[in-house]
Structure 1
Amino acid sequence: MPARYRIRVQGRLGLEWSAWLGGLSLSWQEPGQTVLVGQVVDQAALHGLLNSIRDLGLPLLEVLRLPEEVSL
């Protein structure tokens, strides 16, 4: 079942990584964190996304499933 997620990692990713990370939108927070937000089609896709983040060597700080009423 599709759901929207916010994933926060330590480190700064450039916008060019958006497509490689499932088309999620990227924004930045201090100190040196990247926030990815968007729709993930199912749990398998979420695990694949988290594996990609791991493969980049980025520390995972937060994974949050967003309620339906929260706007991107």
Structure 2
Amino acid sequence: EIVHAIRDEMAQKLSDVILRRTELGEGGSPGDECLAACAQMMAKEKGWDRLKTEKEIDEVKAIYKPAQ
């Protein structure tokens, strides 16, 4: 699903894949392991470096943080 979202649906951000193009984020945060695995797949497809990959993960985590 993730590769399909990138190649066929033009997903550019991890948050887009998690929240809109798959069901991974429907029940709340998919968890650190899932985010890391998805981000690694995206990094491979998109040519992201480590910093970009970490930034994408942090952006998704911030969405799931409770409002303060």
Shared topology, TM-score over 0.5? no
Please state which structure has a larger fraction of its residues in helix: 2
Normalising by the smaller structure, the TM-score range is 0.3 to 0.5
Given the two structures, how large is their TM-score scaled by the length of structure 1? 0.33
Q: Which has the higher contact order (CA 8 A, sep 6+)?
A: 1
